[in-house]
Structure 1
Amino acid sequence: MTFSICVHESYTTPDSKEHERFGVAVTTRLPGVGTLCPFVSENGAVATQSLVNIDLGRTGIEYIDDGLSVGDALESLLNTDDGAPQRQLHGVDAEETFAFSGAECGDWFGYQEGEHFTVAGNLLTGEAVIEETAAAYADAAVHETEDQTDGSPREGDGSAPLAKRLINALAAGHEQGGDKREELTVQSAAVVVESTESHDVTKLYNDLRVDATETPVADLQETYELAVDGYEATLERYAEAYEQDSLDEAAES
């Protein structure tokens, strides 16, 4: 009933500091997928779907944060889950990937593991959904590069922020048919990105959800652009206040 992508990228900032970022993007023909499927921290990304068990995502991320590899973390949870044949679970950490589809997931179901990313889906129109999602991300992946998007993500010649590239990957899969249950018109989509880098002003476009709509991916793309607008406005008006941790700096703005 869902397809999603989990990603890890490493990068450096202009001050030569090394960082990691992780993200998940997901869409389904049910409302509120952003509350159920994506789990992300500065150490990993996990998506739980098919017959959803949110404990697999929540505890999986906790295990990764505690130092377990994504494979050890998720396999250990599946080994104690009586519903494992109906689960689909995948994710990444800084070193490896993991993907699992239970034999009782709804057709079409499957997954693809790439370099630093995983894509998985079930109840899809076909394998092309997964293939195009993976290809769209792989074409735009920027592992081990320099990132200069501390200001507006629309400035400079660098790559687009991970959140935008993840949404675009969803769009590529959606164009291939996506979730096959056309009788379910209320849909949803979400994207979440975390990194080891700290910012004076939170990047508002890194945690977005569209909870109930008939056009989830298009709406998530529009929400992303509006969130960038809001981020730029926040930087313009409040950047100094955030840097000084005092609203006095913005009193005259």
Structure 2
Amino acid sequence: MTLVFRNKLLLVLLSILILFLLVTGIYFVYAIATKGLFIPTEVRRLIDLPNILFFRYNFFAAIGSSFILFLYSMVTMYICYRNFEKTQAAEIIYFVGFCIGCALEGFRIWLPVLNVWSNFSTVFLFFGKSIFFGRFIAILNLSTMAILSKDQNGQQFYDSSLVIIIAAAALLANTIPIDTVLIPSNCSVSFGFEKSYIVLSIVCILASFVTVFIHAQNIGSREYSKSAIGFLVLAIGYIILTQTDSVVAFLLGTVALITGTVKFLWNLHKFHTWK
């Protein structure tokens, strides 16, 4: 994948996301104004937190996390375009893939707007599969970035690795069963093996962090070591926000995602500039 193609792809993605944000924002405000926004009261919490103060279930914290992830994807893509426009960094294309996964969390906003939880419709399936696809593609891109970016010749595997990631994410999203009976507290779609998915995601992230950090130590780069730490923090923030159903989780996830991303991109940019 050439720099020119990558930069054009970023601009196209940004245009699509801006349009999606405008349409979603208008419909969301309209749903609130007309009292058509469905706010579930009986939900299933994946993690039983104390039902006190900021730990209790909060619908707007859950829906807010999807807004944060969507806005994050837009802002981060723009930052990548502006700061890595002339840099052939192997990590960026996979990071953009991660951002696409974050953007697909925006479909969670439409669930209460259209109240698709009430029936097993085609729209419900589309939103559910899209959200699952986004989560799989986000984790797979982060893991692949850790594996291939340490190889200086990894750039030649851009196209093939991205095709494999997309195919694997699509296969997983279409085979995983959906639970239509219970409404999850994170304003999403409940699916089978959810706890197993979270555990595997955490294992993949930790393994990826160790891989990147060891590589940073081997090449003796402080910037890359700091970038690896930022990678771990932003990944933790992402996982928290995908499962957010309380104010505490919303704040922790948002802070971790933003601070981790700043540390990751800032030090990655310095590493490639001085390399």
TM-score (norm 2): 0.30
| Structure with greater proportional strand content | 1
TM-score (norm 1): 0.32
